[in-house]
Amino acid sequence: MQFNSFEFLWLFPFIFAIYYLILYRDSWMTKIPRLGNYVLIAISYGLYTKYNPACALVLLGVTVITFLAALKIEKDQAFGCKKYLIWTGIILALIPLILFKYYNFISSQLSAGLALCGVSVGLPGLNWVMPLGISFYTLQAVGYLADVYLQRIKAERNWWDYMLFVCFFPQIASGPISKAKDLLPQIKSRRSFNYAQAVQGLRWLLWGMFIKVVVADTLGMRIHVVLDNYQNNPGIMCMACAFFYSFQIYCDFAGYSFMAVGVGELLGFELINNFRRPYFSQTVTEFWHRWHISLSTWLKDYIYIPLGGNRCSKLRNYFNIFVTFFVSGVWHGANWTFIVWGILHGLFQIIEKFLGINKVQSTGGIKWLRVISTFLLVTFAWIFFRMPTLADACAVIMKIFTDHTGQFVGVVGPLLLIGIVLFKDFMDEYDIKPLRLLHNRFVIVRWATYLLLITAIATVGIYGGQFIYSGF
């Protein structure tokens, strides 16, 4: 179930009502304290099975593997747990992800490589549907295994609690990627309706819905017309749509994340906020402290630090950064475009560290010059992320820099939508309370904002559009 669908709009109120009005009455909680978790598991698997029953088996398989592997790792830890246990668990958990997401890419590259050597081998391809959110729940489960191995947490012994940890429906499709130490205690705790938390959840849900169905999907329609037919469009429009894509992917992914956080809040859970106004970053390094925070944290904890982090020589540290963002690129998709995108972000950060500007914060005009420069670097990299092939990405870049004919057409509407997003982010970034519309202390201002957003969603929103990150 997608949060931007009519199905969600009518179904979730029923889920919410059942969850609180029936399951969390005191009399029920006394008799069956874990009943709410069982219901959430049933809902999560029901929604996932509706997407594809076979994919639900993959989800269950990853859950079983990591649950049992963690128990085995902890049991043998007292006898000096060998590394092969953790690696066996990780590899088994990753097999479905590798098969569904990377097999066709790997086989095509092998065939191409062998063809260059004069060997013609036609490796069979797989036409299976990639399970929804497999990259997200697999990383979450693997992170749990690593934490047990590193003795950061105890292995979970309650199967149902762990099952909910992996399959919790608000976050399964596109994250955020939760850590066991953060989410499992909430799963185990008794939850009750909290009015303030519910209000905050509705705010997250409303803003996330607006920037997804109104901003991101409207921008996407314009971008599709230009970049999918860039050969017949002037460079100036390609440049405009590269700029628009930076905000489309931000509003698309942040919109989903905000809605996931909002749904979690309504159900009594606090999920990590994945985005903290990333386009106000002064460096690419800072950008990754604000963009997809749960993924960047995962990469730091389970790739960067195990490689040695920054507690090593400079050259080794640069290598660690490069590998980390190479992995980030690979994780995002089985295509050379994603790999190049990840490499670019790694190189940007290595250069920043070499120049010593990664930890320097400027003020005034210099600050905004750095913010704009960082945004331009990120936008440049997004071109590789957006286009289907490296050749297409390079062609668009060449067109932007060499084709100065034509004029801007149809950009007023997209710029207005982007302006609304930037205005809100600016108010939140600098905590300008009189203009923080969703959290304004005046009731009339807050409700006027709510009604305007609801009206925009109802009248110009585009429903049912695929979340970009749902395919990762």
Half-sphere exposure of 36 (CA within 13 A, CB side): 27
The candidate with the shortest Cα–Cα distance to 131, out of 73, 65, 49, is 49
CA 239 to chain centre: 25
Cβ neighbourhood burial of 25 (10 Å; 0-12, 13-18, 19+)? exposed
The candidate with the shortest Cα–Cα distance to 344, out of 307, 312, 374, 369, is 374
Torsion 11-12-15-16 (CA) sign: negative
Tell me the Ramachandran region of residue 234: left when phi exceeds 0, alpha when psi lies from -120 to 50, beta otherwise.
beta
Q: Write the CA distances from 167 to 39, 47, 393, 413, integer angstroms.
A: 12, 10, 36, 39
Query: Which of 332, 345, 404, 439 is an active site residue?
Result: 332
Q: Which two tokens stand for residue 65?
A: 């593997």
Catalytic residue flag (residue 345) = no
Transcribe 3-48 into DSSP letters: TTSHHHHHHHHHHHHIIIIITTSHHHHHH-TTHHHHHHHHHHHHHH
Name 467's Cβ contacts closer than 8 Å, sequence gap at least 6: 2, 4, 173, 174, 212, 252, 253, 256
Q: Which two tokens stand for residue 172?
A: 């399964």
Residues with catalytic function = 332
